[in-house]
């Protein structure tokens, strides 16, 4: 028999039943009284890893496609344990990683809102009634809103003088920032020099209470690089506070006093003034 008489027939595809390897090198780091950052080494898979499940104290938090995760809204001075699992497109899931634990930092009471009623500037405004000042007016029903569909966008407040701060609170409208930074500047006017004190790529809206090491700042900015929705960025509230708020001048005075006392080796003893005898009641 001659000619092309044989024709192959496609068989049934072999299902993918192989799970990804277990994520390794899981590390948990407490960065504030309410936040722990997680990182791990990537898993491998015969087809491809689709993502990772993150667990806190045995309860699944959410899925992520990267090898890092930021857990926020935690309780101060509390130890949390984390594990990670990898999964692929066929639904195969790896075993749990080794656990990693971290203890959140001790919380500190904060002062009042240093940004309340202070001048504010924004990169854009969606429409009249959504100006930057609305995020700092103390009214929970008014808000700043940027133009829609555009990145980056930012908003900053002028505290009026250099203050030592360590806490920012953001209350988002439905249009929230998924990727954003908190930045500070000590410029005297029209700030151009910004220093990052916090950043996230996994913002989820709602209320973000952000703590960081003490920083001098006159200007405080939210700089958004990735919107959480198709809209813009919108904040009901942008608060700035500190555990012990002091102006830079006050800090300099305290430092000067300490230097003088140290240099002169002065010992200060406080002796209470004796209470004078009470007059006798005359009979």
- Model confidence over 27-85: pLDDT tens digits? 998 877 788 999 999 999 999 999 999 999 999 998 999 999 999 888 888 999 999 99
Mean pLDDT over the full length of the chain: 85
Q: What percent of the chain has pLDDT over 70?
A: 80
First to last CA, the chain: 145
Measured CA angle at 87 (ends 86, 93), to 5 deg: 90
Supply 250's token pair. Answer: 């006050």
Q: Strand 59-64 vs strand 234-241: parallel, antiparallel, or unpaired?
A: unpaired
Under the banding of pLDDT at 50, 70 and 90, the label for residue 247 is very low
pLDDT above 90 for 257: no
- Model confidence over 184-241: pLDDT tens digits? 999 988 999 999 999 999 999 999 999 999 989 999 999 999 999 999 999 999 999 9
Nearest to 158 by CA among 214, 198, 116: 116
Under the banding of pLDDT at 50, 70 and 90, the label for residue 1 is low
The secondary structure element, H or E, covering residue 252 is: helix 248-264
- Looking at residue 60, its pLDDT comes to 94
Q: 132, 155 in Cβ contact below 8 A? A: yes
Question: Taking the alpha carbons of 72, 73, 74, 76 in that order, is the dihedral positive or negative?
Answer: positive
Q: Which long-range contacts (CB under 8 A, 24 or more apart) does 40-46 make?
A: 40/67, 40/68, 40/84, 40/97, 41/67, 42/67, 43/86, 43/94, 44/20, 45/18, 45/19, 45/20, 45/21, 45/86, 45/88, 45/92, 46/16, 46/18
- Looking at residue 2, its pLDDT comes to 59
């Amino acid at each position: 028999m001659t000619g092309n008489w044989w024709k192959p027939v496609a068989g049934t595809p072999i299902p993918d039943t192989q799970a990804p390897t277990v994520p390794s090198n899981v590390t948990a780091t407490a960065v504030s009284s309410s936040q722990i950052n997680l990182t791990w080494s990537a898993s491998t898979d015969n087809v491809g890893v689709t993502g990772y499940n993150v667990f806190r104290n045995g309860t699944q938090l959410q899925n992520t496609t990267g090898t890092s995760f930021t857990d926020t809204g935690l309780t101060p001075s509390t130890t949390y344990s984390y594990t990670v699992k990898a999964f692929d497109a066929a639904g195969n899931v790896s075993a749990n990683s080794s656990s990693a634990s971290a203890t959140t930092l001790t919380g500190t009471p904060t002062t009042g809102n240093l940004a309340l009623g202070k001048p504010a500037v924004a990169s854009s405004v969606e429409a009249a009634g959504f100006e930057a000042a609305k995020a700092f007016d103390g009214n929970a029903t008014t808000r700043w809103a940027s133009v829609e569909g555009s990145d980056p966008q930012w908003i900053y407040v002028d505290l009026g003088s250099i203050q030592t701060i360590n806490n920012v609170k953001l209350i988002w409208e439905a249009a929230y920032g998924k990727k954003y930074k908190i930045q500070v500047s000590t410029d005297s006017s029209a700030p151009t020099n910004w220093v990052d004190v916090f950043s996230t790529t996994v913002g989820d809206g709602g209320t973000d209470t952000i703590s960081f090491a003490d920083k001098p700042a006159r200007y405080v900015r939210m700089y958004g690089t990735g919107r959480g929705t198709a809209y813009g960025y919108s904040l009901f509230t942008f608060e700035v506070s500190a555990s012990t708020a002091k102006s830079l001048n006050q800090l300099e005075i305290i430092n000067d006093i300490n230097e003088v006392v140290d240099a002169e080796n002065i010992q200060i003893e406080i002796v209470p003034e004796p209470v004078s005898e009470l007059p006798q009641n005359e009979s």
